[in-house]
Every structure is written in structure tokens, then in C-alpha cells.
Chain A
Amino acid sequence: MFGYYFDLAWRSLKRNKVLTALMVLAIGLGIGASMTMITVLHVMTADPLPDKSARLFYPQIDPQDMEGYTPGKEPMDQFSWIDAMNLLHARKGSHQVAMTGGRVTVRPPQGESRAFFADARYTSSDFFSMFDVPFLYGGGWTADDDDRQARVAVISRTLADKLFGADHAVGQSLRLGKDVFRVIGVVDHWDPVPHFYDLTQGSYHKTEDVFLPLETAMALGQGTSGNMSCWGHGGFPDPRNMKNANCVWMQFWVQLDTPAQVQAYREFLVHYSEQQKMLGRFQRPPNTRLHDLMGWLDYNHVVPGSVQLQALLALGFMLVCLVNTVALLLVKFLRRSSELGVRRAMGASKQSIFAQLLTEASLIGIAGGIAGLLLAFGGLWIVRHQPVEYAPYAHLDMAMLGATLVLALCATVLAAMFPAWRACRVQPARVLKIQ
């Protein structure tokens, strides 16, 4: 039965090539444009650590003075040194990490004249285990190394390749500015998207090439980078005095494995704020938040408005293409009233005519899906060549590829419902008489 429908559909499509091509093109364009933008959205809203994101939390506290205080306002989204250290040393979570971004001048062994900048991350020791950072060689440092301000460094595979060859980087000396560090680990390719652990650098920033113990980097005065917000009348702090400044510039993450732990941590944050207020450091009433990883990305609006707008535009575009397909299918089916009338007169039921017309539509849908897929590949190629920070991640994965075809098929069959229903309502007697 299906083979027969397929045969009929094929003949019918061949009979009017222009109309068929027009429909395939309309569906292809709609699917291509919307899948391009949906893929970009899909990549941008991806979970950077699917296995662990539900257990990683970003706390917020409100350390500011009463100036400009409005109850209910969201607290600051970074930490001062003192608060970050207090939370770190309180050890209320399974793991916790305090960190900040930085930029270092790498002086390669090949010669001073080739010195270059690299992005760095100054972090406490739990960073690597908390975020499941894959090591190619060696490993991270211990909390003890951090406290002792050990001059050790972990570098990316790319940087290791460039400087020493990744195979023998561990144990080498790494010269950053005027200081020398011993390389103790090489991180394999690791590029979480978005750059969730520090969104101030740009949500789709690339993973840093150099990791240094936080205390070491601060003691040596390696330059920090990222956003800094200060309050009171101190202005921007002296780099040597960052630890005491009324400024937030650090990120803090905590791993909480059970709901009980999460609850306990919420209470701890309130308790901590009250305690700091009693000590006179804080002035505002406790105003705390605890977002899990995905919640934190959401709170920070990591997906830019322009991308959402483009996705909306693409969906609107697809809607128009579908309406267009409905119109063209209506034309196509109604034009064949007489043929359908003959089939009805010869005993075909309404259902079988309906099924036959839908088979025809699904053929168009599949062709449109393939055309859309090609257009989406082209569209994503264009997106990858855009100067936006998420550009390198715009790739079609298998799931999206399947989704494209299924979407095209479903959309077309759905669009064919009404024209097919109209077409099988023909009165066999009437069309036969006219002929």
C-alpha cells in the first residue's frame, strides 16, 4: 500500500517540477534558518559540566555599606578577598574554590624577544578536582602548596606544546614576568562552554593557559584581570592592598552533594552575614543567594539578547515558510480534485486518499529537510566566521542533525493536514460530472 502511495506521490511531484521545487525550497529555507539559530542557542545554553552541574553552587553575599541600599536588590556577584578567604577556610562544602582571572607575560625559553601575553587563573587548590579538569601529565597543587605560596604552575596542553613540547613540560621552569614557576601539571584539552566559573571575562571566553596558586600569584603581584566593583570612598585600590580593599573581584564556587548540605549552606551564608554585621564589617541585613551552576548562568543572562532576537526572527521566518507551504500544498492538492475524484469513485476511502496526500507531503518534507540541513551547514559556517566569542562552538552535532530532519518532516506533514483534509472532501460525483 505504502509503495503505491509513494509511486503516486513521486509521479505527482514530477508532474509540476516548479511548484515542487518552490515548496522544497520554502521548507529548506525555513528549516535552514531556524536550525542555524537553534543550534547556536543550543550550544550557548549547553550545560558545561553535565555530570556535576547540579552539585556546584555559586553563593552571593552583600558586603556593601548602607549607601545606595534598597531592600530586595540583588547582592553583588563577586567576592572581596576577605569574604572569599573566610568562606574558603570555613570548609562548609565538600569542596570549595576561590579564584580570580589574570594576565601574565610568558617569557619563553626560546628567547625573550618572543614574549607574549597569556590568560591566567589564580585559584585555590580544589579547582581541578571540583571541575573535573582532565590532566594529560602531572596534576594540580595541594591546599598546603597554596598556603606556602609554592611557586608551581599548571599549564594548558597548547601552551606546553608551544614552550617545551607537551611530553616533557612537567618539571620545567616557566618564566612569567619577573618570576619563575615549576610546571607540575599539563591540562588536556578542556574548554567548558560557557566559561561558567568566571563570567566576568566574557561568557564564552576560552579556558586560560596558565593556572597559579592564588596565594602565590597575589604575593608576587601578578596582574589580575576581570571586573572589579568597589564601594565607599577609597576608589580603586592599590594592587598591593587588594586584600583589604572594599572591592569585589573574586569568584567563589562550592560543591554541595546532598539537599541537606545545600540547606545547611544557605543557613551558613545568612549566619555568616549576621556575624560579619555584628563585627561591623557588613552594614546591610543579610542578603544572600545560592545558585546552582545552571541557575547561575541563567541569572547572568549568558545568552546575549542579539542571539535570542536572531532565533526569534528565524522562527518567525519558518512560520511564514510553513504558511506558504500550506498555501502551495492546497493549490497542489485541489488542482488534482478530478484525479482524486476518480480514485474515490473507484472505491478508495477518504482515509486512504488522506494517507496518500500525506505521503506526498512527507516526501517534500524529507527533501526540504535535506535542503535545510545543507543551508544550516552553510549558515553555521557563516556564524563561525563571525567575530563573536561563541563563534567557534557553532557546530551541528548528531542530535541536532536528527532534530533538523524530524522537524522538517513533522512541520511539513502538519502543514499538509489542512490541504489534505480539504482535498479529500471532494464529491466524486461533482468532479466527474464536470469532466
Chain B
Amino acid sequence: MTVHPIIAALKWHKAGVLLIVLQIALTLAIVSNAIFIISQRISVIQRPTGVVERDLFRVSQSFVGAPSGDDPASLDKLDALQLADLGILRQLPDVQSVAASDGMPLQGSIWVGGLALTADQKTPTSAAGLYYGDEHMRSTLGARLVAGRDFNAGEILHHTINSTVPSPVIIVSQALADKLYPHGDALGKTVYLDSKPTVIIGIVDRLQVANASTRPWVYMSVMAPVRLDGVNANYVVRAKPGRLLPAMQAARKALFAANRMRVMPDSWGIQSLTEIRDKAYRADRGMALLMGLICLILLGVTAAGIVGLTSFWVGQRHRQIGIRRALGARRIDILHYFHAENLLIAGVGVVVGAMLARGLNVWLMTQYEMARLPVTYMVTGVLAMLAIGQVAVFVPARRASLVPPVVATRAA
């Protein structure tokens, strides 16, 4: 089939061709960028936390009328309240292990510290999210230790968040270790956490900071051997396999039975990591879904436009089609003609669309935190648009192919 007659015929329909080209171009530009944004959201949602998420839950509560923690005596009282809670949780039949831990991946609030290699370094080498907890924290969370050792019971301090007492030892995530010591010799080194010296005694494979941030230091975590004393006390609990719900219910009941003077809201007092993950990413999921829906409708609208215009052309060229059939063209030739015509128009549309998509992407990069649109997205988008065009044109093209040759003999 030669292209020349197709182009010649289209000259009679400049406006219609232009509109289809425009529509395909705009759709490609919008959809490829939107799908790219969606995929970025999804990759954020799917990134691992580094802890074993199944059967893990968090207890977050405050003591009512608790001592202030201003002096050593009242600090000890606060700590005793917390130790009592930990003891109660540990005795529950469905509970495997319990730890004092202020943080939990994805949970939301986060303590941030700066890590430096020397005492007088002006700007820290890296920011890091801090997890304060006792010697059971790492094992309960299930973060995999790849080098060094856990805290031992003797190393655990207890004080308020505002204390200036330094932690002599810390465990860091692999990402942080690599950032501080790119040659892989971080274990045993002395570093400065908020200008105070401390020794790296362990490295965990991976540990996400305690919120769903997308900042570059999302895997830069530090575990400090501190039971944080305060009005708020938070624990992480690992239930025995498959016993998560009973363990959570039992924990609530047991804690209230032991001490009524506490606030532990129904909505977030005790929640599993699954719930926490769900809440942390709900907005991202909602946006991805909404954008996906809009893209789908957009493709539908574009397809409808192609069907509408091509149907019109088929109607207009009824007689010409009849003449071609009378001169020996087979049905399949007519079908091919309209498919080829659509491929030509859509081809121009996707070329313009690809340029528009690139332009839109560049503009979005200047306005928002956005990465460069990968070529694979563009190619997939182009192929998808061409395919949609071919599918949409099939119905009118089939109708055209059914025009009987006898039409040619009828008077105009």
C-alpha cells in the first residue's frame, strides 16, 4: 500500500486531522507524565522498612499525673512505670518479645540528630533518624544485624529526651555506615552524634527512619541505648506468629488492668505495623488511584474522539469506497486503508506528543521535585497510543469495508 493517496485524501480533512493529532499529542503528554508520577509514588510505598513487619505492633501511651522527671528521684519513678509496663507485656502468653522503643518505622514522629567524624566538624556528615530503646529493641523489630553486636543490658541508660548525657555506644544502619566510612570500616569507629563522641558497635542491614519521609536520608538510622523517660512511653511488641490480634487485645487489657492512670487512645494507642504502614501511605495511594482513574478516562475520551471523526469520514467517503470496491479492492484492502490512515495520523500525534511530554516533564522538574521521564515510559506511551488508535478505528473501518461495490453505480 502506498502512503501517497492517503495523504492526498487527508488534505480534504485538515481540521479533523489536526484535531486528532492534537488530542493524541495532549493525551500522550499528560498520561505518560501522570503514569510516571504514579509509578514514583508506588515505588515509595513499596520500599522496605528493614524490620520484620508481620506480627509487630506498637504501644504508645502517656501516664496521667506522672512525675515531672525534673530530678533524679522522679526520673526513677517514671522509669519504674515504664519497666512495670514492659514486665506486664512480656508475661502475656501471645507475646514473643517486648522492647522499650520510642520509634517505629513509618509511625510519624521522629528525632533527628547529626553525625560527624570529628569533634569540631562544623556541618555534620549526615543527618540521621534516632531510635531510642533498650537491649531488646533491635531483635524485637527484627532488623538484621550484619556486623558487630547488640546492646547488652548494662549499656542501657535511661533519661529524658532533653538530657545532655551522651550515649557511649550506638548501632547504625548500613546506609549510614557507608556514608560515614565509605571504605566499609565503620564498625568500632568513634563518631560524634550531635557533637558528643560515641562508638559504633553494630551495623544493621537496613532500617528506615521513623516516618514516611522521602528525604535522601530515609535509611540513615541510629539506635541509641536509651530508655526514654517521660510522660509518653512507647513500646514495640512482637506477637507469636499468627497471634497478632489476640496479643494486641491482651496488651490493652493488661496495661489498663495494671495501671488505669494512662491515656492510650483507641485510634493509635495500640496499632500493628500493618495499620501504621496503611495510614502512612494512604494519601499516596489515594493520589495514585485518582491519577490512574483520570488517565484511564482520558484514554477513553481520546478513543471516543477517534471513533467519532473516523465514522464521519467513512460516511463522507461512502461513494469513493464503493468505487474502489467496484474497481477490485478487497474488503481487507479498505480495512487496511483506514488502519494505515489512522497509523499515519496517530504517528504524527505521538511524535508531537513525545515532544510535549518531554517539555511538560522538564517544566515539572523546575516546579516540583520530579525526576527525568525515562525513555521506557515514553516508548510505552507511544506504543499504547498507537494501539489505542488502531483499536478505536477498527469499528468504523469495518463498517467501511462492508460498503458494497454497487454503491459506485448509484447516482450521487
Contacts and interface: CB of A to CB of B under 8 A. Distances in A.
Contact of A387 (B16, B260, B286, B290): B286
Interface in A322-341: 323-324, 326-328, 330-331, 334-335
Contacts of B34: 313
Nearest to B369: A305
A310 B290 contact: yes
B282 A387 contact: yes
A313 B301 contact: no
A386 B16 contact: no
B161 interface: yes
A22 B315 contact: no
B283 A387 contact: yes
A316 B265 contact: no
Nearest to A327: B19
A235 interface: yes
Interface stretch (B171-179, B204-212, B233-241, B304-312): B304-312
A314 B291 CA distance: 9
Interface in B199-252: 231
Given A105-B263, A317-B298, A327 B308 contact: yes
B24 to A, nearest CB: 10
B64 A112 contact: yes
A305 B308 contact: no
B195 to A, nearest CB: 6
Nearest to B279: A387
A321 B26 contact: no
Interface stretch (A126-134, A135-143, A236-244): A236-244
Contacts of A223: 231
A112 B256 CA distance: 12
Nearest to A23: B308
B283 A320 contact: no
Contacts of B194: 235
Interface stretch (A113-121, A160-168, A263-271, A355-363): A113-121
Please report whether the interface of chain B is mostly helix, strand, loop or mixed according to DSSP: helix
Given A327-B305, A328-B305, A328-B308, A320 B62 contact: no
B162 interface: yes
A19 B308 CA distance: 8
Contacts of A236: 161-162
Interface residues of B, number: 53
Contacts of B350: none
A306 B68 CA distance: 42
Contacts of B29: 316
A305 B368 contact: yes
B294 A324 contact: no
Given A324-B302, A335-B312, A306 B15 contact: no
Contact of A238 (B162, B261, B263): B162
Interface string B119-134: 0001100000000000
A33 B294 contact: yes
Given A115-B64, A314-B294, A326 B161 contact: no
A26 B301 contact: yes
Interface size bucket, A side?
Answer: 35 or more
Nearest to A240: B70
Interface string A227-270: 00000010111111000000000000000000000000000000
A313 B19 contact: no
Contacts of A67: 122
A24 interface: no
A309 B368 contact: yes
Contact of B23 (A235, A324, A386): A324
Contacts of A429: none
Contact of A324 (B62, B283, B304, B312): B304
Contacts of A115: 64, 261, 263
A418 B18 CA distance: 13
A421 to B, nearest CB: 10
Given A26-B301, A116-B265, A331 B308 contact: yes
B65 interface: yes
Most central of A178, A320, A331, A334 by chain B CB within 10 Å: A320
B282 A320 contact: no
A382 interface: yes
Most central of A221, A306, A382 by chain B CB within 10 Å: A306
A116 B30 contact: no
Contacts of B286: 386-388
B27 interface: yes
B305 A309 contact: no
A72 interface: no
A420 B62 CA distance: 70
A320 B15 CA distance: 16
A308 B370 CA distance: 13
A7 to B, nearest CB: 25
Interface in A282-331: 305-306, 308-310, 313-314, 316-317, 319-321, 323-324, 326-328, 330-331
Nearest to A328: B308
B309 A320 contact: no
A330 B123 contact: no
A117 B261 CA distance: 13
Interface string B156-167: 000001101000
B62 A117 contact: yes
B287 interface: yes
A28 to B, nearest CB: 11
A314 B297 CA distance: 11
B22 interface: yes
B106 to A, nearest CB: 14
A68 interface: yes
Contact of B162 (A33, A239, A335): A239
Contacts of B290: 310, 382
Contact of B301 (A239, A240, A314, A324): A324
A107 interface: yes
5 contacts: A29-B301, A177-B64, A309-B368, A323-B19, A386-B282
Given A326-B19, A382-B290, A388-B286, 9 more contacts: A115-B64, A117-B263, A117-B265, A306-B283, A313-B30, A316-B26, A324-B302, A328-B308, A330-B309
Top 3 closest A-B pairs, CB basis? A327-B19, A331-B312, A324-B305
Interface of A: 19, 22, 26, 29, 33, 67-68, 105, 107, 112-113, 115-117, 177-178, 221, 223, 233, 235-240, 305-306, 308-310, 313-314, 316-317, 319-321, 323-324, 326-328, 330-331, 334-335, 382, 386-388, 418, 422, 434
